[in-house]
């Protein structure tokens, strides 16, 4: 009932799952300032009670007693001071956001906004300003002669505002440094893999499909998407439990991060219990909305990291592109360590209940390095760094992934125009490729590529 009278901007939070609501609130600027404002109201009530109701000046040294007129002047002065610091902070924030959007990626804005240090700094300024404003309102007409708690707390809050201002400027300039930006993107993706994908998927995965109820597949029924948008979140645990209860197997026709239109086939199901299925219950376990999120979409994080490299190439900044490639290589190790590339999810009785779209390590290589490779084109320095990073990845992961890495690198080299490459660029590029060929066991294929650059007359 209450949700119906709320505006749409607030009602959407009530309609979200707990996990998605937490993520969305962390991505907004008003969440943490609202908390600090509520805390400041509590401090206003506490300090006024101490000074006016309990009259604590009777129990303190005379040194701490401040005349009422001086207290009013102090509070009124600090209102303007704190407001000025808040204005400078907001201006700095806008500069940072504009720089991120133009120089790196507009999709990175939310990462800076969601940073806890950013939100705490803005919350402190807003909370301190509300405190001095409300205190000034209540002590303006009081006949109380001396104050202790109000001036002490006000001076303390002014001090924290000045320190926070310096801290925020340092935080913004530090965050904008290239190595910190790329590391933040990589760390965010790793946390999502470790905390989200492992909890949601890995404990249910199985490489052996077992009984897929083939005799029932002739009675397969589709479930259509009820709205258009990006698939943001899937409640795999409840869907597996529900499929077990209904004794069916569900197959996905789209994955998290895909855009789907209303009426497209989203799922299909078959099994002994397919005649009594409430399809709407399964649709409600899949969040579809107008934007992509990183909650379960590792490739979204890779896209954001790749965009930094692409933007830097356009801005003639090879060092940033190189740093991004290194972070992407490290992210590949996390993908290989924590993701099992099997589409089958089983229940606690070892019966497969969900079949996802098949993914391979090769698709992550393409998502991570493919876009960078495309935009690097004839930038042989970046291509050399890309091949060298792939060689380092190959040296650190399981041999079963080696051929995928070699094929990606060799196809990259195969499209280089050999007539316009400098001799030293050619030398370093072939050195990186030769190292990769030794690690992956493709020396013969390497010599074929070598002859492309140094043909036999």
Per residue in 121-140, pLDDT (tens digit) is 888 988 988 998 898 888 87
CA distance 393 to 62: 70
Residue 414 is inside which H or E element, if any?
Answer: helix 402-414
CA distance 207 to 360: 13
Q: Is the pLDDT of residue 244 over 90?
A: yes
State the pLDDT confidence band at 325, using cuts at 50, 70 and 90. Answer: very high
The pLDDT of 191-201, averaged and rounded, is: 70
Burial class (CB in 10 A: 0-12, 13-18, 19+), 199: exposed
How do residues 141-154 score in pLDDT, each as one tens digit? 777 778 888 888 98
| More confident site: 245 or 61 | 245
- State residue 358's pLDDT score: 82
Q: Is the pLDDT of residue 328 over 80?
A: yes
CA distance 29 to 21: 14
The pLDDT of 381-402, averaged and rounded, is: 93
Distances (CA, A) of 113 to 100, 141, 169, 260: 11, 40, 14, 28
CA distance 316 to 321: 9
State the pLDDT confidence band at 441, using cuts at 50, 70 and 90. Answer: very high
> Crossing angle, helix 149-175 and helix 31-48, to 10 degrees?
160
| More confident site: 128 or 183 | 128
Least reliable range by pLDDT among 1-5, 33-37, 242-246: 1-5
- State residue 456's pLDDT score: 73
Pick from 52-61, 84-93, 191-200, 343-352 the range whose average pLDDT is largest: 343-352
CA distance 85 to 125: 8
Residue with tokens 């504009």: 98
- State residue 1's pLDDT score: 47
The pLDDT of 202-228, averaged and rounded, is: 88
Q: pLDDT exceeding 90 applies to what percent of the chain?
A: 27
Is the Cβ–Cβ distance between 392 and 402 less than 8 Å? no
- State residue 6's pLDDT score: 55
State the pLDDT confidence band at 360, using cuts at 50, 70 and 90. Answer: confident
Q: Length of the chain in residues, anyone? A: 457
- State residue 259's pLDDT score: 93
- State residue 102's pLDDT score: 67
CA distance 226 to 228: 7
Distances (CA, A) of 285 to 38, 233, 248, 266: 34, 8, 16, 12
CA distance 267 to 253: 6
Q: Is the pLDDT of residue 249 over 90?
A: yes
CA distance 102 to 311: 9
pTM metric for this prediction: 0.77
Q: Is the pLDDT of residue 106 over 70?
A: no
- State residue 33's pLDDT score: 85
- Beta strand segments in 115-172, E: 146-147
CA distance 262 to 229: 8
Q: Is the pLDDT of residue 4 over 60?
A: no
Q: What is the mean pLDDT of the chain?
A: 84
């Amino acid at each position: 009932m209450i949700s119906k009278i709320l505006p749409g901007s607030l009602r959407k939070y009530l309609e979200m799952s707990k996990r998605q609501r937490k993520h969305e609130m962390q991505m907004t600027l008003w969440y943490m300032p609202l908390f600090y404002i509520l805390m400041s109201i509590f401090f206003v009530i506490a300090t006024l009670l101490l000074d006016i109701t309990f009259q604590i000046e009777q129990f303190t040294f005379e040194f701490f007693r401040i005349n009422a007129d001086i207290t009013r002047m102090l509070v009124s002065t600090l209102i303007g001071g704190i407001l000025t610091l808040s204005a400078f902070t907001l201006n700095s924030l806008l500069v940072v956001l504009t720089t991120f959007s133009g120089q790196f990626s507009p999709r990175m804005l939310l990462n800076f906004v969601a940073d806890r240090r950013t939100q705490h700094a803005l919350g402190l300024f807003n909370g301190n300003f509300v405190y001095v404003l409300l205190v000034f309102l209540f002590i303006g007409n009081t006949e109380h002669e001396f104050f202790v708690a109000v001036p002490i707390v006000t001076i303390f809050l002014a001090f924290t505002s000045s320190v926070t201002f310096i801290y925020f400027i340092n935080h913004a300039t530090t965050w904008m440094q290239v190595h910190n930006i790329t590391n933040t993107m990589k760390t965010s993706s790793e946390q999502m893999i470790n905390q989200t994908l492992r909890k949601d998927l890995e404990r249910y995965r199985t490489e052996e499909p077992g009984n897929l109820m083939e005799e029932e597949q002739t009675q397969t029924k589709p479930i259509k998407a009820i709205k258009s948008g990006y698939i943001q979140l899937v409640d795999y645990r409840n869907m597996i439990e529900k499929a077990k209860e209904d004794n069916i197997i569900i197959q996905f026709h789209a994955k998290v991060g895909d855009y789907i239109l209303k009426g497209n086939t989203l799922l299909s199901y078959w099994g002994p219990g397919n005649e009594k299925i409430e399809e709407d219950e399964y649709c409600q376990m899949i969040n579809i909305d107008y934007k992509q999120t990183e909650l379960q979409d590792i490739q979204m994080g890779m896209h954001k990291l790749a965009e930094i490299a692409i933007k830097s190439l356009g801005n003639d900044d090879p060092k940033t592109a190189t740093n991004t490639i290194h972070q992407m290589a490290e992210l590949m190790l996390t993908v290989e360590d924590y993701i099992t590339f099997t589409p089958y999810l089983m229940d606690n009785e070892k019966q497969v209940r969900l079949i996802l779209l098949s993914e391979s390590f090769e698709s992550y290589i393409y998502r991570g390095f493919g876009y960078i490779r495309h935009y690097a084109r004839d930038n042989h320095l970046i291509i050399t760094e890309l091949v060298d990073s792939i060689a380092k990845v190959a040296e650190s992961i399981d041999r079963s992934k080696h051929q995928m890495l070699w094929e990606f690198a060799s196809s990259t080299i195969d499209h280089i125009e050999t007539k316009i490459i400098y001799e030293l660029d050619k030398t370093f590029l072939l050195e990186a490729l030769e190292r990769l060929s030794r690690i992956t066991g493709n020396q013969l294929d390497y010599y074929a590529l070598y002859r492309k650059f140094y043909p036999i007359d």
